[in-house]
Amino acid sequence: MVGGGVLDRRRFLGIAGAVVVGGLAWPAEAARRLLAPRTLAFQNLHTGESLKTVYFAEGRYLPEAMQHIEWLLRDFRTEQVHAIDPRLLDLLADLHGHLETREPFHVISGYRSPQTNAMLASLGDGVAQNSLHLDGMAIDIRVPGRRLRHVRAAALSLRRGGVGYYPRSNFVHVDTGRVRTW
């Protein structure tokens, strides 16, 4: 019994030591991941424009890359450009990783001006009057080579905002609002 107690204590101390060492290494690894360069690729289906860019590096969002992304995700009907929520870009980068693809996001809708949103809402296409597209916090996408239901499932697994599923229109909506689904 005493010998068993010593072994149990030794095992416990060994496990505790591993946890402490692992705990010290984990923040360093987490910091490396947080500071690692982040890349996104898009193809705007309405304008035909495409972009692949590193938008985050050395611990900061890159202003020039952000401007290029904001231009590509502009309201193509009015040519209005709006700031895009960096959290949306990070969500997309993580989604891309979950989908294990090298294909760009096909963009159906990024930023929407109030005029465009009002017009689309008036058509009765299920467009919210206070859509997060108006704030640069939402995007409608599809991913070549990935089934729409898989894109939806991957987005839902991230639990980082809203996820809308539009199989008849062939896109998934993701946003950085509260976690919800439709």
Each residue's pLDDT expressed in tens, for the chain with a length of 182 residues: 444 444 455 555 555 554 444 555 556 555 556 689 999 999 999 999 999 999 999 999 999 999 999 999 999 999 999 999 999 999 999 999 999 999 999 999 999 999 999 999 988 767 888 899 999 999 999 999 999 999 999 999 999 999 999 999 999 999 999 999 99
Best CA proximity match to 48, nearest among 89, 107, 133:
107
User: CA 72 to CA 111: how far, in whole Å?
Assistant: 9
The Cα diameter of the chain in Å comes to 80
Q: Is the dihedral of CA 60, 134, 77, 50 positive or negative?
A: positive
Beta strands across the sheet bearing 171-175: 60-61, 50-57, 38-44, 105-109, 138-142, 171-175, 162-166, 180-181
